[in-house]
Structure 1
Amino acid sequence: MFRKSILPISVMIIILIIWEVSTRFFDIPTWVLPAPTVIIQEAISGWDNYQHHILSTVTLIVSGFAIGISVGLIIAIVLHILPKIREALYPLLIMSQNIPIIVLAPLLVIWFGFGVTPKLLIITLVCFFPIAVSTIDGLRHTNPELIHYMKMAGASKRQIFTKLELPYAVPQMFSGLKISATYSVMGAVISEWLGANQGIGVYMTLASSSFRTDRVFVAILFIMILCLIFFAIIIAAEKIILKWHPSKEDQ
């Protein structure tokens, strides 16, 4: 695991060194492009100014992500169990992702106000689709021979679903969870842009309007860190839960 991390870490260090040297060599103003050391310094010295913003965003992300997971799984299960409904609604499911969130968000604010509801809806909209689609694919690609054997053994549709199809869909489900974990952070920041009192999105907007580019990069840094943390949590859960899965036995 450590050896696999050496290459991307090395590339990142090289990029940061080039960035630092370039800003100093070309004497680029801080308000145009701050050096990495300036960004780190601002992140450390300004912790008291934005720690409550981070806590607010994390709370929003976790809540929206939980709702998105629930909605995505429910949609996937319903569309799998009821093929006719899947044929009718699956195109609409895809079309729902063609609406730009940045355009839909102001409408949600108009409909639901400036409270937490439109923010949770935005995160749910960006999270549910990857989970729903990946889970549906996982359920549909269950080994047909095993389904046949269970039918021969007298298993009911409910038993086939709970004991075979759903467990076999778990790896695909985690693929969707990884995508949704990163989307949830993006959705939270976008929702905060459109009307919030606190959050990383608010902090970024205020920093941008006051030409504090270093603080904008601090916000971007913490957004990236949150994405990596949520992604790492999903991967850790995947490794723990999928130890039993047949696909892991051959690896």
Structure 2
Amino acid sequence: MITARRLIIIAAGLIGLWQLVVLATKAPPYILPGPWPVLQAAIANGSTLLHHLQTTGIEMVAGLLVGTLLGTSCALVMIIAPLLRRWLLPVLVISQAVPVFALAPLLVLWLGYGMASKIAMAVLIIFFPVASSFYQGMRRTNRDLLELARIMGARPVNVLRFIVIPAALPAFASGLRVATAVAPIGAVVGEWVGSSAGLGFYMLHANARMQVDVMFAALALLSAVSLVLYFSVDYLLDKLIYWQPTQGVTHE
């Protein structure tokens, strides 16, 4: 688990490296502004940034919730119904062969410029890692436990509830962590294609006006919120799957 002290040190190191690159390259501010001008731009445009952050944040969280719900439901259906699995599994794989970014203009055309198209974009990105990880986790349930449950006459629903799903939770957690990390991509890409609000929309307008410092401020805010979302989900998963040891990580 990354501690708050370590995060501060990493952030300070990245900001210092950023400033060194600016000084070494002598890049003009309209190409690469330094940390201080970006901070000033963030303060000057704070209320506007927060307004657009609210839209993007709702899209990210809603996409994560809906994508997780659909992904877990699909994985459960494939485990419970072998006949449906033969049809759903190829569709699940084929869906990832189509670049989801290429679908963004279509989603905006079908669902409009509001939040719906951005949430749908986030769901498309989040769905696969959740569904595939949860499904594979349930498939890898200890066969000895399943055989023991069968011998003892356990009902299939109880086997699923008390053996299969708990055994698959660590794999599900890994997939959900990946999904949380990529959740901002769907929302922002959808906003770039067509929107009337959001940090992606605001960055496009700042770019058109050559306000590079404002673009960096919006990007920094988006990164910070994405990190908060990721570590919040990571913390909740650690609490949920308390029996799963964390290997190779030093806790401080």
Which amino acid in 2 is paired with 1:210? Answer: R
Matched, 1:172 2:171: yes
- In structure 1, stretches of 5+ residues that fail to align are none
Contact 1:185 1:226 survives alignment (8 Å) = no
Q: Per-residue CA shift, 1:84-115, capped at 9, x if unaligned?
A: 32233212212212222221111122222223
TM-score by length of 1: 0.90
- Please list, as runs of the form range in 1=range in 2, the aligned pairs for 1:1-251 lying within 5 A after superposition: 6=6, 10=9, 12-243=11-242, 245=243, 247-248=244-245
Once the two structures are overlaid, the 10-residue window that deviates more, 112-121 or 53-62, is 112-121
Contact 2:138 2:165 survives alignment (8 Å) = yes
Counterparts of 1:95 and 1:209, CA distance in 2: 37
Once the two structures are overlaid, the 10-residue window that deviates more, 132-141 or 89-98, is 89-98
Once the two structures are overlaid, the 10-residue window that deviates more, 130-139 or 118-127, is 118-127
Counterparts of 1:129 and 1:178, CA distance in 2: 12
Count of residues in correspondence between the two structures: 248
Which amino acid in 2 is paired with 1:88? Answer: W
Structure 1 stretches (4+) deviating beyond 4 angstroms? 1-5, 8-12
Which amino acid in 1 is paired with 2:31? Answer: V
RMSD (Å), alpha carbons: 2.3
Counterparts of 2:2 and 2:193, CA distance in 1: 40
Percent of counterpart pairs with the same letter? 29
Contact 1:174 1:234 survives alignment (8 Å) = no
Contact 2:108 2:190 survives alignment (8 Å) = no
Q: CA deviation at 1:17?
A: 2.0
Counterparts of 1:10 and 1:248, CA distance in 2: 26
Taking structure 1 as reference, are residues 2 and 199 closer, same or farther at Cα in structure 2, changes over 3 Å only?
A: closer
- In structure 2, stretches of 5+ residues that fail to align are none
